[in-house]
């Protein structure tokens, strides 16, 4: 019997659904999750020793490829010096400096251990700073699993068709206003109604948790203007897009300065590091400077910080993002071509090392258009590719990730196998 199946059976006896994060369970695509024994560069190996070309990339963290020797060396050296001190270190100062240099909007930045922690803390800070309770988020955007933010969130929640989580008090959910992504008129109308009650607008500057949706021209600028007019804190949640879509994140790409930014994924290079930061006048309200409490035993953990520093350093090599972008564009172009040849409605797009594939004629620009994509086609495509040792994210509502370790051969092989999959999908219709 497959070791993956045996492990999955065993896992379900001790862990809910056998996984420690819902989308890993393969509920929407069917079949058995691959239990990974190791990863290197662009590849992961499952429990049977089968090698897969990996387009999940630990959900975007593995931008330099898995187990890069520089990162492993940094982590090993750091581990030998002790795993955690609960006292400040030079490396965490350096990471904060690197983040500030790459992202000038971070006048002050605090390190935490997960994207969820970063967004929860940024929201609390925005509420403490403004003295207001309401927050605005957008349908299909995911900002971690904090109570206020788990209303009409994307990703795992979309995969399971649930608009919101159980267990969130009505009083909390009622303070969250959910608006359609890419609809600046809806945002204007809401601000006209209650703009002075809105503490923060939190947005993924490129949405990546309802599959990938880019901001329409004027959407982010419009939010910037509304927040300026009404004294609302604009939070860019760049946990996914940070150092993934551009050397200076989505805010550098679109040249818009948020008041606060949340980071995660890439900045830990596969270890638990995340951050929130921004304007000094706001960040000064964080304890112990101010009265908004936030803390963490493992915040700025030295081993994790070492991985983050080594990873970010690699992304500063000349041509890093050009190469990453070219590889990702090659994948997107190739997939689009072979789908067209096969006659399957399909589209795709990318930014830096992040991409979206859609079983629809044109690239979606809204949550509704994402929901109208052909999920059955996606699920078939996913499984056909997985059987040929290519691992896409196991949900039609996730973005995909390419790393600097993916080479032309990996992309060519993926396109060849995708071509056969599209042809099969067409035949089966
Ligand atoms: C992944 C993600 C989060 C949550 O980060 P965790 O580290 O999983 O808690 C928050 N926001 C966005 C945009 C993300 O993609």
CATH number (domain holding residue 186) = 3.40.640.10
CA angle 400, 249, 336 (to 5 degrees): 30
30/117 same-domain check? no
Domain count, the chain: 2
Nearest CA to ligand 1 atom 6: 115
247/269 same-domain check? yes
Ligand 1 pocket test, candidate residues 22, 206, 264, most atoms within 8 A of CB? 264
State both tokens at 26: 């393969």
Element (H, E) at 176: strand 176-179
Measured from the CB, is residue 399 less than 6 Å from ligand 1?
no
Contact 206, 216 (CB under 8 A): no
202/161 same-domain check? yes
285/205 same-domain check? yes
State both tokens at 418: 């995708």
- Quote the CA–CA distance of 65 and 79 in Å, as a whole number: 21
The residue out of 315, 341, 363 marking a domain boundary is 315
74/61 same-domain check? no
SS3 66: strand
The alpha carbon of 299 and the centre of ligand 1 are apart by a number of angstroms equal to: 16
- Quote the CA–CA distance of 134 and 110 in Å, as a whole number: 24
Query: C-alpha distances in angstroms, 268 versus 20, 89, 95?
Result: 19, 16, 10
- Going 125 to 264 to 175 to 165, the CA torsion angle's sign is negative
The residue out of 271, 290, 315 marking a domain boundary is 315
Residues of the domain holding 225: 69-315
Q: How many CB atoms lie within 10 A of CB 98?
A: 16
232/130 same-domain check? yes
Q: Is 321 a catalytic residue?
A: no
56/16 same-domain check? yes
- CATH assignment of the domain containing 370: 3.90.1150.10
Query: C-alpha distances in angstroms, 17 versus 10, 20, 168, 244?
Result: 10, 8, 22, 30
SS3 307: helix
Tens-level pLDDT at each residue, the chain (429 residues):
699 999 999 999 999 999 999 999 999 999 999 999 999 999 999 999 999 999 999 999 999 999 999 999 999 999 999 999 999 999 999 999 999 999 999 999 999 999 999 999 999 999 999 999 999 999 999 999 998 888 776 655 555 545 578 888 888 888 999 999 999 999 999 999 999 999 999 999 999 999 999 999 999 999 999 999 999 999 999 999 999 999 999 999 999 999 999 999 999 999 999 999 999 999 999 999 999 999 999 999 999 999 999 999 999 999 999 999 999 999 999 999 999 999 999 999 999 999 999 999 999 999 999 999 999 999 999 999 999 999 999 999 999 999 999 999 999 999 999 999 999 999 998
Ligand 1 pocket test, candidate residues 20, 56, 140, 144, most atoms within 8 A of CB? 144
Measured from the CB, is residue 58 less than 6 Å from ligand 1?
no
CB-based contacts of 174, cutoff 8 Å, min separation 6: none
The residue out of 260, 285, 315 marking a domain boundary is 315
301/237 same-domain check? yes
CA atoms within 13 A on the CB side of 390: 24
The alpha carbon of 209 and the centre of ligand 1 are apart by a number of angstroms equal to: 9
Residue 49 is predicted with a pLDDT of: 97
Strand order in the sheet with 51-54: 36-40, 43-46, 51-54, 390-391
Report if pTM > 0.95.
yes
The alpha carbon of 287 and the centre of ligand 1 are apart by a number of angstroms equal to: 23
Contact 38, 399 (CB under 8 A): no
328/213 same-domain check? no
299/356 same-domain check? no
Measured from the CB, is residue 238 less than 6 Å from ligand 1?
no
The alpha carbon of 239 and the centre of ligand 1 are apart by a number of angstroms equal to: 5
Measured from the CB, is residue 209 less than 6 Å from ligand 1?
yes
Contact 266, 58 (CB under 8 A): no
Measured from the CB, is residue 264 less than 6 Å from ligand 1?
yes
Q: Is 424 a catalytic residue?
A: no
Q: Which of 254, 259, 265, 410 is catalytic?
A: 265
Q: Which of 237, 259, 321, 358 is catalytic?
A: 237
Residue with tokens 């989308």: 23
The number of angstroms, rounded, from the C-alpha of 418 to the middle of its chain's C-alpha atoms is 24
- Quote the CA–CA distance of 160 and 107 in Å, as a whole number: 39
Ligand 1 pocket test, candidate residues 59, 206, 209, most atoms within 8 A of CB? 209
Q: Is 313 a catalytic residue?
A: no
129/234 same-domain check? yes
Query: C-alpha distances in angstroms, 101 versus 97, 111, 290, 428?
Result: 6, 15, 25, 53
The number of angstroms, rounded, from the C-alpha of 109 to the middle of its chain's C-alpha atoms is 19
306/189 same-domain check? yes
Counting atoms of ligand 1 from 1, which one is nearest the CA of 116? 9
Residue with tokens 């058995």: 32
Measured from the CB, is residue 116 less than 6 Å from ligand 1?
yes
Q: Is the peptide bond before 224 cis (omega within 30 degrees of 0)?
A: no
């Amino acid at each position: 019997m497959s070791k993956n199946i045996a492990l999955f059976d065993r896992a379900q006896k001790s862990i809910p659904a056998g996984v420690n994060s819902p989308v890993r369970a393969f509920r929407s695509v069917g079949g058995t999750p691959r239990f990974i024994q190791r990863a290197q560069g662009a590849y992961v190996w499952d429990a049977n020793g089968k090698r897969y070309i990996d387009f999940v990339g630990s959900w975007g963290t593995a931008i330099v490829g898995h187990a890069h020797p520089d990162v492993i060396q940094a982590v090993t050296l750091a581990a030998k010096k002790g795993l955690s001190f609960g006292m400040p270190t030079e490396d965490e100062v350096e990471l904060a400096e690197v983040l500030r240099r790459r992202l000038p909007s971070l006048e002050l930045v605090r390190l935490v251990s997960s994207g969820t922690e970063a967004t929860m803390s940024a929201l609390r800070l925005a509420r403490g700073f403004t003295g207001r309770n309401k927050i605005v988020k957008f349908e299909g955007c995911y900002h971690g699993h904090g109570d206020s933010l788990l209303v009409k969130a994307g990703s795992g929640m979309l995969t399971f068709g649930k608009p919101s989580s159980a267990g969130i008090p009505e009083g909390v959910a009622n303070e969250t206003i959910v608006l359609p992504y890419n609809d600046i008129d809806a945002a204007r109308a809401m601000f006209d109604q209650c703009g002075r009650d809105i503490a923060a607008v939190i947005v993924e500057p490129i949405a990546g948790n309802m599959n990938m949706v880019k901001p329409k021209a004027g959407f982010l600028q419009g939010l910037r203007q509304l927040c300026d007019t009404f004294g609302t804190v604009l939070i860019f949640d760049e946990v996914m897009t940070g150092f993934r879509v551009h050397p200076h994140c989505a805010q550098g790409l679109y040249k818009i300065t948020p008041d606060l930014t949340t980071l995660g994924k890439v900045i830990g290079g596969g270890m638990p590091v995340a951050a929130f930061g921004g304007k000094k006048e706001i960040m000064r309200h964080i304890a112990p400077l101010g009265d908004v409490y936030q803390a963490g035993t493992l915040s700025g953990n030295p081993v994790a910080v070492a991985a983050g520093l080594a990873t970010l350093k690699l992304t500063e090599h000349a041509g890093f993002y050009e190469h990453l972008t070219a590889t990702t564009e090659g994948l997107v172009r190739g997939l689009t071509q072979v789908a067209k040849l096969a006659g399957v409605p399909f589209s795709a797009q990318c930014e830096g090392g992040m991409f979206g594939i859609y079983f629809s004629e044109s690239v979606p620009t809204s949550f509704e258009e994402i929901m109208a994509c052909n999920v059955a086609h996606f699920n078939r495509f996913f499984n056909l590719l997985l059987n040929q040792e290519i691992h896409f994210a196991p949900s039609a509502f996730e973005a995909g990730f390419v790393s600097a370790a993916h080479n032309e051969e990996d992309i060519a092989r993926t396109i060849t196998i995708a071509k056969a999959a599209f042809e099969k999908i067409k035949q089966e219709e």
